[in-house]
């Protein structure tokens, strides 16, 4: 065999037909465009979905539902997530600023507290909305639920001590003494980026944050059975994932051993052990 003797298989290469080149091209006097009509003229362009003037398919099919322009969407946070935040920060007042600084919400989110889980201590919660069961659980623990839409990104974990009002006995309301709030400059620590663990995407990271798993250390300390339980509760879309190696990866990330983490991830297949 020589390079000079190589050629394509018979029938694999066809010559292009030169359209519009007279009778010799085999297209007749109309160059294969037929007689009259839009397609016989230059510049013809058929719009997507056009069916020759008849009622197109997208108009023959029925419509289902509608988009409510007045719909208000909330970011759902459950009581067990609040309790995990209280345990990690020691906060007595939880507001939008504290949730934002800990990576649980975005700046534009409207937050609604839902009733899954419980809080074990008295805490004041100030967010956009509450479910009935969440209000009952918070008040049962000695706390209070306040509707407040203000987001202060400089919120401190000691915000409960920031403002005190002292009222003297038998003194008119105009003489109330208000102490100036002492705002700490240090912000509350943000949660870790769990997406650095191979196999965890934005949706699963959000799912774990709602379950109180906010940092690499939280993920490393969570048993695989608990991770499987969280994924199964979220539905079949999440339960197909295998979290076997996630705590091990999170442990390396929490210790700052990024080279060892990269070596481990090179041996994995989408977060799963090969």
Q: Span 94-115, mean pLDDT?
A: 91
Structure tokens at 37: 């009509």
Percentages of the chain per state (helix, strand, coil), in multiples of 5 = 35, 10, 55
**What's the pLDDT band for 111 if we cut at 50, 70, 90?**
very high
CB atoms within 10 A of CB 137: 21
Angle, nearest 10°, between helix axes 224-234 and 202-210? Answer: 110
List of domains in the chain: 75-178 (3.100.10.10), 194-273 (no CATH)
Using the predicted structure, report yes or no on whether residue 169 has a pLDDT greater than 60.
no
Using the predicted structure, report yes or no on whether residue 177 has a pLDDT greater than 50.
no
User: pLDDT digit string (tens) for 4-20?
Assistant: 999 999 889 988 777 77
Q: Span 10-35, mean pLDDT?
A: 80
Of the chain, the percentage scoring pLDDT greater than 70 comes to 84
User: pLDDT digit string (tens) for 126-163?
Assistant: 999 999 999 999 999 999 999 988 777 665 444 434 33
Model pTM score:
0.38
pLDDT at 211: 87
């Amino acid at each position: 065999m020589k390079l000079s003797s190589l050629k394509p298989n018979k029938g694999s290469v066809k010559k292009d037909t030169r359209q519009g080149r007279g009778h010799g091209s085999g297209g007749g006097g109309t160059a294969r465009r037929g007689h009259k009509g839009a397609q016989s003229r230059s510049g013809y362009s058929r719009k997507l979905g056009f069916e020759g003037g008849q009622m197109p398919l997208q108009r023959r099919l029925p419509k289902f539902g509608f988009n409510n322009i007045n719909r208000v969407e909330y970011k759902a946070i459950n009581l067990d997530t609040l309790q995990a935040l209280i345990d990690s920060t020691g906060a007595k007042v939880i507001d939008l600023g504290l949730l934002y600084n800990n990576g649980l919400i975005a700046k534009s989110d409207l937050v609604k507290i839902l009733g899954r889980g419980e809080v074990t201590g008295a805490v004041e919660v100030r967010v956009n909305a509450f479910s009935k069961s969440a209000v009952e659980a918070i008040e049962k623990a000695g706390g209070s639920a306040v509707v407040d839409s203000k987001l202060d990104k400089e919120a401190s974990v000691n915000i409960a001590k920031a403002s005190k009002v002292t009222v003297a006995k038998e003194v008119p309301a105009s003489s109330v003494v208000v102490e100036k709030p002492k705002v700490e400059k240090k912000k509350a620590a943000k949660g870790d980026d769990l997406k650095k663990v191979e196999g965890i995407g934005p949706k699963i990271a959000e799912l774990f944050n709602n379950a109180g798993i906010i940092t690499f250390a939280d993920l490393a300390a969570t048993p695989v059975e608990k991770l499987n339980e969280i994924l199964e509760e979220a539905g079949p879309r999440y339960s197909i994932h295998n979290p076997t190696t996630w705590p091990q990866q999170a442990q390396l990330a929490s210790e700052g051993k990024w080279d060892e983490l990269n070596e481990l991830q090179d041996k994995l297949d989408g977060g799963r052990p090969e």
